[in-house]
C-alpha cells in the first residue's frame, strides 16, 4: 500500500496553490464526459444560471446533496445565513427535479450548538413547495469522537424528501439481525429471529448500521477529502431511488462519490462543486476508475503526478 | 404464559370506566411509597403547583420525560399548542433540577408530517435558560412499520440536555461490533475489529441498536400501555446520568418503567401521570415487582383481579 496521503485540502493554502494550475475547470466551466452522459461543473449551487447551465433542460429523478457545513461556533447570524444559503440551492435543485423525484440531503446536528442546523433546515424545508418529508435516516458510524462525560457521537443525518410519487426499490442489508429473542410464527413453526436473520430479506430501515466509514486502508479512500461519504451508502440511495439510465445530480461533488456510484450503477450524473480542486478530483476519480477499476487511491491521492511521496 | 392482554387503554372508553373506580389516586393526589422514598402523583406536568407538590423542595439529578404525542395529522395550530404545552412542563422540570443535572426527552419526528415535532421542540428548547444540548440519541427498533415505497421506519429519538456539569458514567453495550475490516494497532499488534469487539469496552454511542422493543413475550410487558419504553434503555440512562440515592423524575409515568428501573438501581423516583389509570398501573407494577420479582405481566395485565381472561 502506498503511503502518500494529502492533508485536508480545504485547510492547506500552500497545497491549493500548487494544485490549482492543474485543475482543468475554473468557475463557470462545465466538463462533459466524452464517453457517457456525465457532467462536472465548477459552479455555484445557489446561482440559478449556473444550475440551469448544468442541467440544460434535463430534469433529475434523484438529487443527493451533501452541503459543506463548517460553522465553528454557534452564531445566530451565521446560522441564519447558512439556512438562507441552503434555501437557495434547495430551490434550484427542486426546480430541476422531474415531476416524480427523490431528494436526499446529508446534514449534521451539532450537539455542542443546540443541534443546529438540522432543526432549522427541516423548518426551512416546510416552505419549499412540491416536496414532502418522506424519511429521516441516520447513519451510524463505527467509530466516534467521544469523551468520558457524554455518549460517544457516532452519527450522520440524511433527510429524504419526495416530489410527486417517485420510484422506490426496497434495499436489503448484508448484515444479520443484531438482537435475538424475538419469536414469530413462520409457516406454522415458531422461529427465533436469529434463524430468520439468515434470510436475505432484512431491510436497513432508516437507521443504517452496516456502513463502514471511509478510512485510509479502503480502496475508495480519497485522501485530502475530509468528508467523504462511503460508496456503500450512495449506492444504496441510488439503487433505491432511481433506475438505470436515470439522471442523478449532486451539487456538492467533493470527492466525486456520487459520480462514481452513478457510473457503476448505469445512471448519468450531473455534479458540481464551487471549488476547482474538488471538480478536478471528481473528474480524475472517474478517469482513474475507468483505467484501473479502482474506486479511489487508498492512502495515496489523485495528484501523484504533481505531489509525490515525501 | 397467560393470554389475557388488555387493549390500548387510551382508546377503550368502556375499559376505562371499569378501571377508574379501582384507581387509588384522583387528580391532585400523591401516593408516597411506604417502603422507600418514591412518589407517584396524579398530577398535571404543566401545572406549577402540582409539580411543586410532587417535589416538595427536593431537586432531581435526572429527569426522563416521555411526553405523549398523538397528533393525528399535521395542523399548524395543534403543533404550536403541543410545543407550548411542552415548554410549560419543560420549564417546570428545569426549575426542579439540581444545579448539576441531566434532562432526557423522548420525542418523535413524524416522517409524514415534515418531521414534527422534533425540530420545533429543539428550537423551543433554545429559549430555556440554564440547559444546553448535550447529545442527540436515536434508538433503533428491531421491527418497524414499513412499506415497499419507503425506508422502513425503525426509530425513536431521545434528546439529552444538561444543566451545569452533571455526573456521567460511561456505559457499555452487550453486543459485539457489527462491522469487520477496521484494523488498528493494539499493543504493537495489528488487530481486526472483529477481535477487538470481544472486549467489554464497546460503547453504545448515540445510536442505540442493542435494545429489544417490548412485546407480549417479554416479562416486562404491560399490556394496555401502547408506548412502553424498554427497561434496558431506562436502566442505561439512569446508570449513566445518576448515582445511587439520587432522585430521578419522570412526569409521564405511563407504564411506570422509570420507577421500576429506579427501584432496581437504588435511586428514588418521583413520577406523575395525569391519568389515574396509568398512576394505578405504575403503583401496582412496583408492588407486583416487590412481591414477585417480576418486571411486568408479560401477556397478562395489572388488573387481573378486575378483568379476568375471556
Task: Say whether pLDDT at B61 is over 80.
Answer: yes
Q: Is the pLDDT of residue A140 over 60?
A: yes
Q: Tell me, what's the ipTM?
A: 0.91
The per-residue pLDDT for A158 is 98
Q: Which of A17-31, A74-88, B57-71 has the lowest mean pLDDT?
A: A74-88
B168 to A148: CB separation less than 8 angstroms, yes or no: yes
Are residues A151 and B111, on separate chains, in Cβ contact within 8 Å? Answer: no
Answer yes or no: do B209 and A205 touch at CB < 8 A: no
Nearest residue in chain A measured CA to CA from B197: A142
Q: Is B173 exposed, middle or buried (CB count within 10 Å of its CB: 0-12, 13-18, 19+)?
A: middle
Q: Could you tell me the pLDDT band of residue A191, with boundaries at 50, 70 and 90?
A: low
In chain A, CATH 3.40.50.150 covers: 13-172+210-292
- Pick the residue from chain A with its C-alpha nearest to B125: A114
Alpha helices in chain A (DSSP H): 13-19, 48-55, 76-95, 118-125, 193-196, 231-241, 257-265, 276-292
| pLDDT tens readout for residues B129-152 | 999 999 999 999 877 767 899 999
- Segment B168-197 shows an average pLDDT of 66
Q: How far apart are CA A56 and CA B170, in angstroms?
A: 54
Pick among B207, B211, B237 to test the A interface (most A CBs inside 10 A): B207
Query: Which cell numbers hold the place of A167?
Result: 420510484
The correct CATH number of A13-172+210-292 out of 3.40.50.150, 1.10.287.610, 3.30.565.10, 3.40.430.10 is: 3.40.50.150
Please identify among residues 209-228 of chain B the ones whose CB lies closer than 8 Å to any CB of chain A: 209-212, 215, 217
Q: Which helix (H) or strand (E) holds B78?
A: helix B76-95
Which residues 127-156 in chain B show a CB within 8 A of chain A?
132-138, 140-144, 146, 148-155
Report the distance separating Cα B278 and Cα A283, nearest Å.
62
- Interface contact flag, B212 A120, Cβ < 8 Å: no
Closest C-alpha among A210, A227, A165, A202 to residue A11: A227
Per-residue model confidence as pLDDT tens digits over B198-252: 556 789 999 999 999 999 999 999 998 988 999 999 999 999 999 999 999 999 9
Contact residues on chain A for B154, CB-CB shorter than 8 A:
205-207
* A-B contacts (CB, under 8 Å): 167
Provide the pLDDT for residue A285: 98
The answer, yes or no, to whether residue A286 has pLDDT greater than 60, is yes
pLDDT, one tens digit per residue, over B72-103 is 544 667 899 999 999 999 999 999 999 999 99
User: A299 CB near a chain B CB, below 8 Å?
Assistant: no
What's the rounded Cα separation, in Å, for the pair B272 and B54? 8
> Which pLDDT tens digit goes with each residue over B20-41?
999 999 999 999 999 989 999 9
For strands A268-273 and A183-186, give the pairing: unpaired
Task: Report the residue of chain A nearest B137, measured CA to CA.
Answer: A151
Report the pLDDT averaged over residues B248-257. Answer: 98
Mean pLDDT of chain B, nearest integer: 91
B266–A contact, CB cutoff 8 A: no
Specify the pLDDT at position A2.
82
Across B168-174, average pLDDT: 92
CB contact under 8 A, B206 and A152: yes
Query: Mean pLDDT across the stretch A145-156?
Result: 90
CB contacts, 8 Å: B122 with chain A: 114-115, 118-119
Instruction: Kindly state the helix (H) or strand (E) to which residue B200 belongs, with its residue range.
Output: none
Do B166 and B240 contact (CB within 8 A), yes or no? Answer: no
A176 touches chain B (CB under 8 A): no
What residues contact B59, with CB distance under 8 A and at least 6 apart?
A: B96, B97, B98, B99, B101, B247
Q: Considering chain A, what percentage of its residues have pLDDT values greater than 70?
A: 89
Chain B, nearest residue to A148 by Cα:
B170
Mean pLDDT of the region A159-176: 92
Yes or no, beta carbons of B114 and A126 under 8 Å apart: yes
Residues 6+ apart with CB under 8 A from B245: B266, B267, B268
Name which of A111, A134, A212 is nearest B150 (Cβ-Cβ): A134
User: Is residue A45 a contact partner of residue A279, using CB atoms and an 8 Å limit?
Assistant: no
The yes or no reply on domain B13-173+210-292 and CATH 3.40.50.300 is no
Q: What share of chain B has pLDDT > 90, as a percent?
A: 75
Cα–Cα nearest to B140, from A148, A210, A144: A210
pLDDT over threshold 60, residue B71: no
Amino acid at each position: 500500500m502506498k503511503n502518500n496521503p494529502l492533508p485536508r485540502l480545504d485547510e492547506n493554502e500552500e497545497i491549493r496553490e500548487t494544485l490549482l494550475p492543474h485543475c482543468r475547470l475554473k468557475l463557470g466551466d462545465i466538463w462533459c464526459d466524452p464517453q457517457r452522459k456525465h457532467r462536472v461543473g465548477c459552479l455555484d449551487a445557489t446561482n440559478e444560471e449556473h444550475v440551469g447551465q448544468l442541467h440544460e433542460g434535463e430534469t433529475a429523478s434523484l438529487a443527493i446533496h451533501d452541503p459543506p457545513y463548517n460553522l465553528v461556533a454557534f452564531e445566530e447570524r451565521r446560522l441564519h445565513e447558512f439556512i438562507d444559503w441552503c434555501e437557495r440551492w434547495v430551490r434550484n435543485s427542486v426546480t430541476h427535479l422531474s415531476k416524480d423525484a427523490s431528494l436526499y440531503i446529508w446534514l449534521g446536528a451539532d450537539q455542542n450548538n443546540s443541534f443546529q442546523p438540522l432543526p432549522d433546515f427541516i423548518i426551512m424545508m416546510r416552505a419549499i413547495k412540491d416536496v414532502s418529508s418522506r424519511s429521516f435516516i441516520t447513519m451510524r458510524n463505527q467509530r466516534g469522537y467521544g469523551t468520558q462525560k457524554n455518549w460517544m457521537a457516532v452519527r450522520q443525518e440524511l433527510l429524504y424528501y419526495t416530489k410527486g410519487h417517485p420510484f422506490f426499490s426496497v434495499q436489503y442489508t448484508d448484515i444479520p439481525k443484531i438482537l435475538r429473542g424475538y419469536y414469530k410464527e413462520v409457516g406454522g413453526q415458531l422461529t427465533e429471529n436469529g434463524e430468520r436473520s439468515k434470510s436475505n430479506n432484512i431491510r436497513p430501515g432508516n437507521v443504517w448500521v452496516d456502513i463502514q466509514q471511509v478510512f485510509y486502508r479502503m480502496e475508495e479512500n480519497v485522501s485530502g477529502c475530509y468528508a467523504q461519504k462511503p460508496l456503500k451508502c450512495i449506492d444504496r440511495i441510488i439503487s433505491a431511488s432511481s433506475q438505470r439510465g436515470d439522471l442523478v445530480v449532486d451539487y456538492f461533488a467533493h470527492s466525486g462519490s456520487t459520480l462514481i456510484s452513478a457510473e457503476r450503477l448505469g445512471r448519468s450524473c450531473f455534479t458540481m462543486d464551487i471549488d476547482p480542486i474538488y471538480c478536478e478530483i471528481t473528474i480524475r476519480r472517474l478517469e482513474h476508475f475507468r483505467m484501473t477499476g479502482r474506486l479511489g487511491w487508498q492512502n495515496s491521492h489523485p495528484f501523484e503526478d504533481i505531489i509525490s511521496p515525501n
